[in-house]
Structure formats: C-alpha cells, structure tokens
C-alpha cells in the first residue's frame, strides 16, 4: 500500500512527528548541561530515526493527496527546519481531503487494522525507554 488515509496518518505519522520534536528538544537540552558528555548524540540519533519514519508516513499521505514524494519531502524537511512549523505541515497532511487523481500512486487506502494500532503504540513509545537508559548511564 503506497497511500495513507487521514486516520492512518494520524495514527502513524503524528506520533513519529511529535517524537521527532520532543527528541530534538531533549538533545538540545542535553547539549547545554555540563557533565553529561556526549549523551545528546543518542537523542539526536533517535530524533533522526523518528524523522525518517515521519517522512515515510508523510510521503504515503502525500500520495493520497496527489503529491509526488519529492514535493512532500521538501515540504516536510523545510517545515522541520523551522521547528514547530512541522506541526503546520502535519496539520495540512492530516486535514486535506484525498484528490481524485491520486490513483496513480496505488489503490485507495484500506481500513485501520490491528497491526496499524500496534505499530502506532510502538512508534509512540520506542525512543523513551532508550532515553531513560541513556540517563541512567
């Protein structure tokens, strides 16, 4: 499936986007604390992984809107560079209706499945035990 509906993007894309922002704040905070060494690197790597997931789900939602992958990536990267502006891009992806000409990107998105819900929970929580472990080191 190369397209995501609004519900699929809300369930999968938003947690990854919010984790990206939160982890960037954690990394930024860790850079200014003395005695932490290079602990900010772990938060930065986790933020980049979350950003890749965010971009993946944004591209799938962009396909449902009839946008090419490069257009969606450009929008998402530019908005991410401005920090909270990525929430504006996520809002656009979340609330726009699918276009009729988007069939060239594959069949219409299906309904939410149990796997979607499990993946959403995993995407929402995976970096935080890692950050807790980094704090204990």
Domain count, the chain: 1
The one-character DSSP state at 107 is: S
Domain span holding position 125: 6-136
Q: How far apart are CA 56 and CA 70, in angstroms?
A: 11
pLDDT of amino acid 1: 46
Inter-CA distances, 127 with 22, 40, 123, 132, Å: 10, 13, 8, 9
Q: Determine the average pLDDT of the residues in 125-135.
A: 84
1 belongs to a structural domain: no
pLDDT of 102 above 70 = no
Instruction: Quote the strand ranges of the chain, DSSP E.
Output: none
127 belongs to a structural domain: yes
> pTM of the full predicted structure?
0.83
Q: How far apart are CA 58 and CA 24, in angstroms?
A: 19
53 belongs to a structural domain: yes
112 belongs to a structural domain: yes
pLDDT tens string 34-91: 665 667 788 888 989 998 999 998 888 888 888 888 988 988 888 888 877 888 888 8
Specify the range with the lowest mean pLDDT, choosing from 6-20, 39-53, 87-101. 87-101
Q: How far apart are CA 125 and CA 133, in angstroms?
A: 13
């Amino acid at each position: 499936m190369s397209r995501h509906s609004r519900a699929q993007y809300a369930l999968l894309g938003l947690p990854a986007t919010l984790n990206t922002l939160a982890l960037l704040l954690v990394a930024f905070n860790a850079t200014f604390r003395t005695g932490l060494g290079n602990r900010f690197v772990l938060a930065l790597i986790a933020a980049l992984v979350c950003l890749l997931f965010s971009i993946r789900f944004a591209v799938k939602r962009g396909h449902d809107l009839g946008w090419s992958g490069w257009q969606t990536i450009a929008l998402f990267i530019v908005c991410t560079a401005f920090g909270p502006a990525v929430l504006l891009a996520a809002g656009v992806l979340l609330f726009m209706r699918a276009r009729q000409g988007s069939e060239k990107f594959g069949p219409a998105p299906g309904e939410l499945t149990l796997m979607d819900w499990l993946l959403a929970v995993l995407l929402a929580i995976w970096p935080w035990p890692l950050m807790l472990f980094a704090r204990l080191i």
